[in-house]
Amino acid sequence: MAGPMLNLTVFTKSSYHALRAISLATFPPGFLILLLQGIFSKCVNPAIGIVPLFFSSAYSALLLANEKKCGCQASGLTGTPIHLVFDLLLGVGLLVCLILDWIFIPDGWADRSLVMLGTYGTNFLICNFLIHLYFVLTQILEALQPGTYYPTSCPQCQGRSFSVGKYKLNADLLSGYAPLLDGEGRPNNSAGEAVVDEGESAV
């Protein structure tokens, strides 16, 4: 069975799925165009954009794989501080490469075909930059609104965790507390209730 990054139905699940899938799909053509432009022009720019483009696409692939294991419609793709940090860093990296490309590409006007090829390649960088910018702005706006919470459709998202393979980053574990969840993924307060009952009986 094809993975989420190879299944075209991922584009129709939600806007978060579509954006992450687009960010992943931009790498193969972007890599090919930027690599050819770098080889023919013998210039670092804009071929250096392959580096942040790779990490951007790899990050989206990890999120989609994690979302498949998580089983939520949108959570796992955005909504935690870890997502915000990674989207911000990747967006900054793409923006730096774009600025360098816009500065140095005009120096190659001697060969207009190479300039056009490099310009086409930067379109993929712009696409991924706008996607990361969207996620960053969305999370910032949601954080500024009162009453917003993390997705609670599964135990992993209730704990504000983010996992990649065998590694799991959990905000609650980092703070020294991890919520207990029952079989349905709801907070398990049986331990607290037992303590209260014992206190009441002692009184």
Q: Tell me: the pLDDT tens digits for 57-115?
A: 999 988 888 777 665 555 567 777 888 899 999 999 999 999 988 887 766 555 777 88
Q: How far apart are CA 8 and CA 104, in angstroms?
A: 37
* pLDDT beyond 50 at 194: no
**Which pLDDT score, from 0 to 100, does residue 90 have?**
95
**Which pLDDT score, from 0 to 100, does residue 2 have?**
44
**Which pLDDT score, from 0 to 100, does residue 173 have?**
42
Q: What b/e sequence results for 79-106 when a residue is b if at least 16 CB atoms lie within 10 Å of its CB, and e otherwise?
A: bbeebbebbbebbebbbebbeebeeebe
How far apart, in Å, are the Cα atoms of 180 and each of 39, 125, 148, 155, 173? 55, 42, 22, 9, 12
Residues in the chain, total = 203
Domain ranges of the chain: 8-148, 156-202
**Which pLDDT score, from 0 to 100, does residue 1 have?**
40
Q: Look at 30 and 148; give whichever has higher pLDDT.
A: 30
Find residue 148's DSSP bridge partners.
none
Average pLDDT, the chain: 73
**pLDDT tens, 114-146?**
888 888 899 999 999 999 999 999 888 888 876
* pLDDT beyond 70 at 11: no
**pLDDT tens, 35-52?**
998 888 888 888 899 999
**Which pLDDT score, from 0 to 100, does residue 172 have?**
47
Q: Which of 26-40, 125-139, 170-184 has the lowest mean pLDDT?
A: 170-184
**81-104 and 50-70 are packed helices; what angle lies between their axes, rounded to 10 degrees?**
160
Of all residues in the chain, the percent with pLDDT exceeding 70 is 58
